[in-house]
Structure 1
């Protein structure tokens, strides 16, 4: 794996988020503040990146691997918040009556659509870079093969997390604060339709992440630092 400059990555992601907020500010002044909840959802999408950044720095400084375990668990709990942003497109259907008037599509539909797509892109990119960070850590600790096993597991859990969040309205922190509800929702979600939905989202996550991965590793200069099997080179 290519080692990225995560200071530049952070600046890129922060700039993208600020641009997204700026677009929303302009659109909300022209229309309304219905989509204010996107601000909170984008904040939640940043949390896994903060956890992965902490794990990445600790591993680079060769701290004990035991410190990485709680960060990894916390990351897994919050990672689905990034792909979850895609499901906020659902709200466009709830406002159909103000988007289509007398058979004509109003301009505010396009404003809201672009805003939602920007929030989705910003959240997904932040989440995928956090996944790349953790894959880098695992690749250093073991090898590239096991790092991809981790990616597959993360995408699967991410797909299931999106299901629990959108369909069953479970929050990441409910796993810690309301275990009885979590067990009940898990039992309720064990059906064929939920399994298909989770796998569908997982495959989408994997396809997009793999695209990002191979773009990063194919476009970064070959003279940069990389990781060998089981260690640094």
Structure 2
């Protein structure tokens, strides 16, 4: 599993976020409406899992007994907020809710394409934040426990993430309800046990797992030149001996 430079990734994600916000404000001023301003808050929530995963990533290399427990705590907080990064996908529903505004006598109004571009930018940025945060934690588990454990973590994370999106979109719960409103959370979790909820989790879980696996493949696929270069390295010789 290839190690990434997360300082550069943080800078890159910050630039993408700035571009996303810039696109929103340009479109908002141009069209003179700020209907999608709630996406800014949703994107902020999408940054939280990346912060927690990076904290866990850094703590995993600290040689202090308490660091391991702090890393685990950061990982659990990551799991609590991870659904926020992919929840933004469901904000596409607002385009459907506003569909009557987009259709006129000449077909689709140009404002639809502006709104679609803005929402898709928020969706893309949110997914990048979520999947790169998952990659950080998978990298830690991969090097500490092994490949199979890391992929079990990914599958469980995507499954729980899709369930979190269900609780957020359908039952209007927030991540912090797990800490501040547990009675309502438990009640709605019981209510959510149904065939439609299971279908939603299966479809949405497959969706985010497939996208993550695609990102993982693109990151870890080496070119023939890289393969030849690493074949004669001391690390490769050590791997062959093992």
Q: Give the TM bin, normalised by the shorter chain.
A: over 0.9
Residue of structure 2 equivalent to 1:114 = 117
Residue of structure 2 equivalent to 1:58 = 59
Q: Deviations over 1:157-203 (max 9, x none)?
A: 01101100000000000111001110111011000110110111111
- Separation in structure 2 between the aligned mates of residue 157 and residue 62 of structure 1, nearest angstrom: 31
Residue of structure 1 equivalent to 2:168 = 165
- Give runs of aligned pairs for residues 72-87 of structure 1, distance below 5 A: 72-87=75-90
Alignment of 1:142 with 2:139, yes or no, is no
- Separation in structure 2 between the aligned mates of residue 152 and residue 45 of structure 1, nearest angstrom: 20
SS, match of residue 12 in structure 2:
helix
Residue of structure 1 equivalent to 2:70 = 67
Aligned residues: 225
- Separation in structure 1 between the aligned mates of residue 204 and residue 72 of structure 2, nearest angstrom: 26
Residue of structure 2 equivalent to 1:94 = 97
1:103 is displaced (CA, Å) by: 5.2
TM-score (norm: length of structure 1):
0.93
Residue of structure 1 equivalent to 2:2 = 2
1:61 is displaced (CA, Å) by: 2.7
1:96 is displaced (CA, Å) by: 1.4
- Separation in structure 1 between the aligned mates of residue 114 and residue 57 of structure 2, nearest angstrom: 37
Would you identify which runs of 4 or more consecutive aligned residues in structure 1 move more than 3 Å? 219-224
* Alignment RMSD: 1.5
1:149 is displaced (CA, Å) by: 0.3
- Separation in structure 1 between the aligned mates of residue 62 and residue 204 of structure 2, nearest angstrom: 35
1:30 is displaced (CA, Å) by: 1.3
1:144 is displaced (CA, Å) by: 1.1
Residue of structure 2 equivalent to 1:151 = 154
Residue of structure 1 equivalent to 2:50 = 49
1:60 is displaced (CA, Å) by: 2.4
1:219 is displaced (CA, Å) by: 4.2
1:62 is displaced (CA, Å) by: 3.5
- Separation in structure 2 between the aligned mates of residue 73 and residue 103 of structure 1, nearest angstrom: 51
- Separation in structure 1 between the aligned mates of residue 203 and residue 174 of structure 2, nearest angstrom: 21
Residue of structure 2 equivalent to 1:229 = none
- Separation in structure 2 between the aligned mates of residue 160 and residue 138 of structure 1, nearest angstrom: 23
- Separation in structure 2 between the aligned mates of residue 69 and residue 172 of structure 1, nearest angstrom: 18
- Give runs of aligned pairs for residues 164-203 of structure 1, distance below 5 A: 164-203=167-206
- Separation in structure 2 between the aligned mates of residue 23 and residue 189 of structure 1, nearest angstrom: 37
TM-score (norm: length of structure 2):
0.89
1:36 is displaced (CA, Å) by: 0.4
Gaps of 5+ in 1: 227-233
Structure having the higher Rg:
2
